[in-house]
């Protein structure tokens, strides 16, 4: 499958391992990862600046970011700080950083911005994600202006939940690319 956009992946807490769909997509489609200085004890400001730096080297009107988990929240902070237009974002399994289930060691990822994204977004969630309740994901989609897609009982939409190459995710990404 060919993409006309410049696709950037943005993994969440701990980065995405070799079997994660983001990593597999990078290998298969040539997408570029937005690297972070610290994946294990992330600071929101550092993540936001890494996003801005990477997008700043590209034609922003042609960039789509594919964010997973904590990276969805980092994208909301990036929008709040820079309010820049990009072509779109696929926001998969956002992590509720205000919930007791949020990863320990993260800094500055709350309160979660309630800001409308100035570009098209699709937020993909599940009914049984340990890191976010369906109701919170629905609220995120509402305030961010995202189209909400629910996968049913899909866990955190990662390899532990059975998501490897995740072809249907690629189809959703392709919708943003058109």
pLDDT in tens, 126-175: 999 999 999 999 999 999 999 999 999 999 999 999 999 999 999 999 99
Q: Please check whether residue 145 lies inside any domain of the structure.
A: yes
Please state the three-class secondary structure of 62-84 as a single string: HEEEEEECHHHHHHHHHHHHHCC
Mean pLDDT of the chain: 97
Domain count, the chain: 1
pLDDT in tens, 24-40: 999 999 999 999 999 99
Q: List the domain range (segments joined by +) for residue 26.
A: 6-177
* pLDDT value at residue 6: 98
CATH value at residue 94: 3.40.50.1820
Q: Please check whether residue 42 lies inside any domain of the structure.
A: yes
Give CA–CA dist 92/178, Å, rounded: 19
Strand partners, 9: 33, 66
Under 8 Å between Cβ of 103 and 138: no
Q: Which two tokens stand for residue 135?
A: 């109701």
Q: Please check whether residue 63 lies inside any domain of the structure.
A: yes
Q: Please check whether residue 1 lies inside any domain of the structure.
A: no
Using the predicted structure, report yes or no on whether residue 1 has a pLDDT greater than 90. Answer: no
Give CA–CA dist 75/114, Å, rounded: 12
pLDDT in tens, 32-90: 999 999 999 999 999 999 999 999 999 999 999 999 999 999 999 999 999 999 999 99
């Amino acid at each position: 499958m060919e993409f006309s956009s410049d696709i950037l992946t943005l993994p969440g807490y701990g980065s995405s391992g070799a079997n994660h769909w983001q990593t597999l997509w990078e290998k298969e489609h040539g997408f570029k990862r937005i690297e972070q200085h610290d994946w294990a004890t992330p600071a929101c400001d550092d993540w936001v600046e890494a996003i801005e730096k990477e997008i700043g080297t590209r034609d922003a009107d042609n960039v789509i970011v594919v964010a997973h988990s904590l990276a969805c929240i980092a994208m909301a902070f990036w929008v709040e700080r820079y309010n820049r237009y990009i072509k779109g974002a696929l926001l998969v399994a956002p992590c509720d950083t205000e919930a007791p289930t949020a990863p320990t060691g993260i800094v500055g990822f709350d309160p979660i911005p309630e800001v409308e994204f100035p570009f098209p977004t699709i937020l993909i969630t599940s009914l049984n994600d340990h890191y976010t309740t369906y109701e919170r994901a629905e609220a995120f989609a509402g305030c961010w202006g995202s189209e909400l897609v629910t996968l049913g009982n899909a866990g955190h939409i990662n390899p532990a939940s059975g998501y490897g190459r995740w072809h249907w995710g690629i189809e959703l990404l392709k919708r943003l690319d058109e």
